[in-house]
């Protein structure tokens, strides 16, 4: 659904507020009946599949609501453009349905930490988003999943419409693996063995954008699987909270043996990436990988880029799986991340129409099209994304999947590596050792929480 970059999101600019202040024609939609000269504004970040679907849904909504015009506003997530757009639209009170990244429960640290929520969590805590829990269309979604993604104090402040796999996510070229008599690995050692076989055959195993931090998916994927060993999928939120509490109280640290082992495994995988990974942009990586049919069997990238890969090379026979981070196949489960969430600001000019738009979006026949367009994992329990061939592995492995673990709580403005090791600096992408990187993170974390 989005272009992932590690850059810090910037504050909104006043210029956007000026430009967008006239985007919506003021009109009341209370009282029912046909609307005249009403503009419903929907905003989401740039993603080809999602934007095309939204345009079609908007056309359907306009047909069903004579006199209503739906205006779609988009911006890329790169260089904080999306942050600037939605901030300015909220300031000008000109948006009715707004996409946000699901804050999850990590966004709401316990009161004893004195940490203030940020991003979408801050909008919820400050009363700027409408509680949707009792809206009829919410019955199509799993209430527990929605509450974990965008719930707060018995309210549910959005419709989490998309989930993706990013931690350890790997695309692969089926024909290229078959050429070297390889199958999808189920353990960490099997994956390393496959990479070694490919390397000896003169093939570079992994393509990745290390310029934009996508190699961090290896570390995250291994961490999720190792830390969730022995736990049921439903316990992932509690595992995250227990870890965050332990970090805050000083009983866990980034220098602990488990993080040293995760880092060692990360480095082993990094031996098989293309030499120029540090200069590869995440925006161009899927297309470059897809075009090169005789090299790079694996692409380290999220499941959100399926449409981009297919458009770059429609004839490419692709598959998708997650990196097996442990040596026990049963422990190598899928970790997914809540993503695009539709919210309705309390300042929405046409709140009733916004609810009707979400109801139309949530109809199973429409949501099924959304899944096909975006490659999302379904958040409606009655539906699965069966229209995309590469979803077969995910559909098979979703029964024991879990929401990916969140990082320990850190105050706003804390150094980047307080929340985890800086993988740009870890060898072989950077020049620092595991001990140096983890010690730096541990020190940054303790300083950020006031110790």
DSSP H or E run through 259? helix 257-270
Beta strands at 298-300 and 206-208: parallel, antiparallel or unpaired: parallel
The reported pLDDT for the residue numbered 191 is: 98
The reported pLDDT for the residue numbered 34 is: 53
Using CA atoms, how far apart are residues 259 and 230, in angstroms rounded to an integer? Answer: 17
User: Global pTM?
Assistant: 0.84
The reported pLDDT for the residue numbered 37 is: 87
The reported pLDDT for the residue numbered 24 is: 38
CA 348 from centroid of its chain's CA atoms:
26
The reported pLDDT for the residue numbered 386 is: 83
Domains of the chain: 14-163+339-385 (3.40.190.10), 169-333+410-448 (3.40.190.10)
Is the peptide bond prior to 202 cis by the omega test (within 30 degrees of 0)? Answer: no
The reported pLDDT for the residue numbered 30 is: 42
The reported pLDDT for the residue numbered 320 is: 97
Q: Which two tokens stand for residue 219?
A: 């570390």
Per residue in 354-381, pLDDT (tens digit) is 999 999 999 999 999 999 999 999 999 9
pLDDT under 70 in the chain at which residues?
1-36
The reported pLDDT for the residue numbered 35 is: 57
- Output the DSSP codes for 41-76: EEEEE--HHHHHHHHHHHHHHHHHSTTEEEEEEEE-
């Amino acid at each position: 659904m989005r272009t992932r970059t590690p850059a810090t999101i910037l504050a909104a600019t006043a210029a956007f507020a000026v430009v967008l202040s006239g985007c919506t024609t003021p009109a009341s939609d209370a009282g029912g009946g046909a609307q005249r000269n009403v503009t419903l504004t929907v905003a989401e970040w740039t993603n080809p599949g999602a934007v095309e679907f939204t345009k079609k849904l908007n056309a359907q909504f306009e047909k069903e609501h004579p006199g209503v015009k739906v205006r779609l506003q988009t911006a890329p997530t790169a260089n904080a453009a999306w942050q600037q757009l939605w901030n300015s639209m909220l300031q000008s009170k000109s948006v009715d349905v707004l996409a946000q990244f699901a804050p999850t429960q990590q966004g709401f640290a316990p009161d004893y930490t004195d940490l203030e929520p940020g991003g979408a969590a801050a909008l919820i805590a400050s009363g700027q988003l409408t509680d949707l829990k009792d809206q009829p269309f919410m019955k199509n979604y799993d209430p527990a999943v929605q509450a974990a993604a965008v719930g707060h104090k018995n309210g549910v402040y959005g419709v989490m419409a998309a989930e993706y796999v990013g931690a350890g996510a790997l695309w692969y070229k089926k024909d290229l693996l078959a050429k070297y008599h390889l199958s999808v690995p189920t353990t960490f050692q099997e994956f390393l063995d496959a990479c070694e076989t490919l390397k000896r055959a003169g093939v570079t195993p992994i393509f990745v954008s290390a310029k934009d931090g996508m190699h961090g998916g290896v570390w995250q994927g291994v961490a999720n699987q190792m830390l969730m060993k022995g736990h049921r999928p439903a316990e992932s939120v509690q595992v995250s909270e227990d870890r965050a509490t332990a970090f805050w109280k000083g009983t866990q640290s980034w220098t602990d043996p488990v993080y040293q082992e995760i880092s060692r495994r990360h480095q082993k995988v990094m031996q098989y990436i293309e030499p120029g990974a540090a200069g590869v942009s995440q925006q161009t990586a899927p297309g470059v990988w897809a075009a090169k049919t005789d090299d790079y069997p694996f692409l380290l990238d999220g499941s959100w880029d399926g449409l981009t890969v297919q458009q770059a090379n429609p004839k490419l026979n692709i598959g998708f799986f997650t990196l097996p981070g442990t040596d026990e196949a049963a422990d190598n489960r899928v970790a997914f991340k809540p993503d695009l969430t539709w919210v309705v600001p309390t300042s929405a000019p046409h709140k009733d129409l916004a609810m009707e738009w979400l109801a139309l979006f949530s109809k199973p026949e429409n949501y099924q099209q959304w899944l096909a367009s975006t490659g999302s994992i379904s958040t409606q329990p009655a539906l699965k994304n069966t229209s995309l061939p590469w979803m077969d592995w995910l559909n098979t492995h979703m029964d024991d999947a879990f929401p990916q673990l969140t990082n320990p709580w850190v105050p706003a403005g804390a150094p980047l590596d307080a929340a985890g090791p800086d993988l740009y600096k870890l060898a072989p992408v950077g020049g620092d050792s595991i001990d140096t990187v983890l010690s730096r993170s541990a020190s940054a974390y303790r300083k950020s929480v006031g110790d």
